[in-house]
Structure 1
């Protein structure tokens, strides 16, 4: 991802569908970049420009990428292990986990794919896509 986003300016579009809803939602970020390996693939992202839901990526901005075997989060425990996911974790309870386990809606947990949406608390996701596009 660094090799791609380092060549030009990119934007990020995330499409997702929350449990119990039949509409696809969108989170758009006009600036998206992943840093080099020397920075542990640190996330640089602008504020979300469509604000119907909470900004699930905001707490990951400036954070290095954590995996099961490389703990780069700011917490004292291994968030990638606890959340069954690799992600830009600030702490172990983030606003989004789009690489988590795809669970049934009634089984959503912090190990699941989730986005803190319009509703209070954790909302599971039944579909998610992250897309980048080069800005002209």
Structure 2
């Protein structure tokens, strides 16, 4: 345990260039995927420990942001470590084949029913590996979390296009999966989408779609859903509907890339990236505001105007649906 803590606390090195804060991308050496960004002061990598991080934090303009970023990065490393330990245990017990798990359902089907971080791949051959959070206890298990929000967390969601494309946050706490990875996974096979909602009074509701995928970046990561069921109402809408608040068929928008149908920038007004139309009945990436004003806060307006305090979006393979359900899969069958 001491060795693990030492490894985690010596990963972060901070450099100052002409007295200005410099951001350095952190990569997982095994997976070559950007995990987070953190500001780093001028400290030797070998000498970087909790005390030196605390001492150097005085050089950072916003100490709260600095400490929160360190927390994010360390937590990600811990989750990666736990995921690798899980895979090692599985290998020793011979519960997996030599192929890679492509999603959380593969682990669930192999007998792993503990919610937590796991390593998955976009193909059985180990291409595009990623550490994800698997929810194994809800609605039959095997769900891969692609978005999580929690009122008590302080992770910032009003981000630029590149952040939403690559993903950000802390898995198991509050995070965004990444649009590019979401496109990769949902175009490899058909997926279900489930969204769990909790409001300020503790009431719970859910939304489920039998079909879910998004298009690629050249098409703005357009949203496609069909086959609604649940208790919160169909705020996304479906192909046959044409409401100006529905998200079906809409491109993703961020503060720096306005793809909505409104005269104003919905992502800027509502302070979070989303599949906005003009603007939306669902805004799950906005800041948490404890108000029943429909224009502010995290809301799913086909259910309630009450502010939401917890949101989880999850995907799971549609094992019982043929790949021909969507034109997106016709070329792959």
TM-score normalised by length of structure 1: 0.87
- Asked if structure 1 preserves the Cα contact closer than 8 Å seen for 2:233 and 2:302, the reply is yes
Gaps of at least 5 residues in structure 2 are 1-181, 238-245, 320-333
Give the Cα–Cα distance (whole angstroms) in 2 for the partners of residues 109 and 25 of structure 1: 18
1:131 counterpart residue number: 314
Match of 2:187 in 1: 6
Summarize the alignment of residues 1-136 of structure 1 with structure 2, pairs less than 5 Å apart. 1-20=182-201, 22-50=202-230, 52-58=231-237, 59-92=246-279, 94-104=280-290, 106=291, 109-119=294-304, 122-136=305-319
The question of whether the paired residues in 1 share the 8 Å contact of 2:294 and 2:301 is answered with no
Runs (4+) off by over 4 Å? none
SS in 2 for 1:128: strand
> 2: CA distance between counterparts of 1:100 and 1:118?
17
Which structure features the higher share of helix residues?
Answer: 2
Please provide the CA RMSD for this pair: 1.6
Structure number with larger C-alpha Rg: 2
Change in 2 beyond 3 A, CA 1:69/1:91: same
Alignment-derived partner of residue 122 in structure 2:
none
Q: How many Å apart are 1:65 and its aligned residue?
A: 0.3
Give CA deviations for 1:57-111 in whole Å, capped at 9, x if unaligned: 221000000011000001111110000010001112x11100010122x475523
Gaps of 5+ in 1: none
Q: CA separation in 1, counterparts of 2:311 and 2:183?
A: 21
* Structure with higher RCO (Cα < 8 A, 6+ apart): 1
Distance 2:293 2:227 in 1: 26
